[in-house]
Amino acid sequence: MTLEPLAMPWLDAPLAQLLAQQRGHALILQGRFGDGLLALGWRLARAWLCESGGPRPCGQCGSCHLADQQTHPDLRPVLPETWQLALGLTAGEEGDGEGKASKRKPSKDIRVEQVRQAIDWSHTTSGRGRGKVLLLSPADAMNEVSANALLKTLEEPATGLRLLLCTEDAGQLLPTIRSRCQSWRLPSPEDAPVRAWLSQQGLNDADDLLRACQGQALSAWQAAQQGWRADAWRALPRLVAQGDAQSLSALAPPDALRQLQQLCHDAMAVAVGGEPRYFDRQALPARLRLEALVPWSRALAQAVRQQDHPWNAGLLIESLVLQGQAALAPAAAVSPRRAAAQRPATLRP
């Protein structure tokens, strides 16, 4: 696995633009990871270090080969351990000599030790003489201590060092970090090239998939790799309305929670007269009550915040599906007894 699992043609123009315009030593790349943001950062770094002198990484020279093997001495990606695992990268020297790194839960943060090691690395001599690139992603995964450790390097970088900070939301970075970097935003690609690309990858009829992934092609491809199924997606509103948690129990808990949140989002949108974003309108119950959905939405948000706690994930999802069943119940669901009491006396048996 690599930081750029597939060539994404809509990144070509942004790469050319970046190579033509980028002059400073520190750049914030903002955009959506599901559109290929990290791949763009990786390609830009490879292009800077490529020894062919061409307008993009050639894929042939010694530098490109080392980058492809994740062994380039002058290119250092710094990612949270959870990302390293998801991308199939080894933790490498991030074991930080504690000896118990393997027993620790993988960190979602870019830890201060990672930043300090990267700063030390930046002061060593460039291995191939074309400078060095430090790629931090997602840069907002740096906590305040990590970010502060990086500040001095941003102010006075070692000679030839370039810093790339990838993030979906630059607003999450410290103002002191932002003010020391140039900023650039990756536009989301048009629909047509995304569909053509998905079709090239063997994913035809990707309407539901793209909707579920908010139009993000790389996310859609990854979801398909992980066994995402359109029929299961279409059935989800009905199954949750029936209190059936079985289809969700096969998913990793974060994925199950995200799908429930997407369903809840759409139900709330419809309840206030808006349009659903992820599901077909027809797949959702006809009449929805906002007051019933709000508590479910809160419970889901809380579960997402606490998903690292050692809950029994299966029980948690089951309970959230049952709350969803109640929340999705139609507005006119009045108990037969109450309905009888409300009937005019003359019609009573």
Q: Which residues contact Zn ion (rule: CB under 5 A)? A: 50, 52, 58, 61, 64
> Residue 8 corresponds to which tokens in the numbers above?
């994404």
Single out the residue of 262, 247, 345 nearest to residue 301, CA to CA: 262
- Nearest approach, Cβ of 128 to Zn ion (angstroms)? 11
In the bound state with Zn ion, the residue whose beta carbon lies nearer, of 62 and 92, is 62
- Nearest approach, Cβ of 5 to Zn ion (angstroms)? 19
Alpha-carbon distance of 126 to 133, in angstroms, equals: 10
Question: CB neighbours of 220 closer than 8 A, spacing ≥ 6?
Answer: 34, 198, 203, 206, 209, 210, 212, 213
- Nearest approach, Cβ of 48 to Zn ion (angstroms)? 10
Alpha-carbon distance of 237 to 208, in angstroms, equals: 14
> Residue 340 corresponds to which tokens in the numbers above?
């009888």
In the bound state with Zn ion, the residue whose beta carbon lies nearer, of 64 and 248, is 64
In the bound state with Zn ion, the residue whose beta carbon lies nearer, of 52 and 201, is 52
Return the residue matching tokens 């140039």. 182
- Nearest approach, Cβ of 251 to Zn ion (angstroms)? 40
In the bound state with Zn ion, the residue whose beta carbon lies nearer, of 3 and 218, is 3
In the bound state with Zn ion, the residue whose beta carbon lies nearer, of 28 and 133, is 133
- Nearest approach, Cβ of 53 to Zn ion (angstroms)? 9
In the bound state with Zn ion, the residue whose beta carbon lies nearer, of 58 and 174, is 58
- Nearest approach, Cβ of 193 to Zn ion (angstroms)? 25
Alpha-carbon distance of 129 to 117, in angstroms, equals: 20
Alpha-carbon distance of 43 to 202, in angstroms, equals: 24
In the bound state with Zn ion, the residue whose beta carbon lies nearer, of 52 and 143, is 52
Helix, strand, coil % over all residues of the chain, rounded to 5 = 55, 10, 40
Q: Is the peptide bond before 138 cis (omega within 30 degrees of 0)?
A: yes
Cβ-in-10-Å burial (0-12, 13-18, 19+) of 333 comes to exposed
Alpha-carbon distance of 155 to 222, in angstroms, equals: 37
> Residue 338 corresponds to which tokens in the numbers above?
């109450």
- Nearest approach, Cβ of 209 to Zn ion (angstroms)? 34
CB 26 within 8 A of CB 35: no
Q: Mind giving me the DSSP string for 32-62? A: -GGGTHHHHHHHHHHHHH-SS-SSS--SSSH
In the bound state with Zn ion, the residue whose beta carbon lies nearer, of 30 and 63, is 63
- Nearest approach, Cβ of 223 to Zn ion (angstroms)? 32
Return the residue matching tokens 């043609």. 9
Q: Which amino acid is at 139?
A: A
- Are β-strands 182-185 and 26-30 bridged in parallel, bridged antiparallel, or unpaired? parallel
Q: How many CB atoms lie within 10 A of CB 185?
A: 12
- Nearest approach, Cβ of 24 to Zn ion (angstroms)? 23
In the bound state with Zn ion, the residue whose beta carbon lies nearer, of 2 and 172, is 2
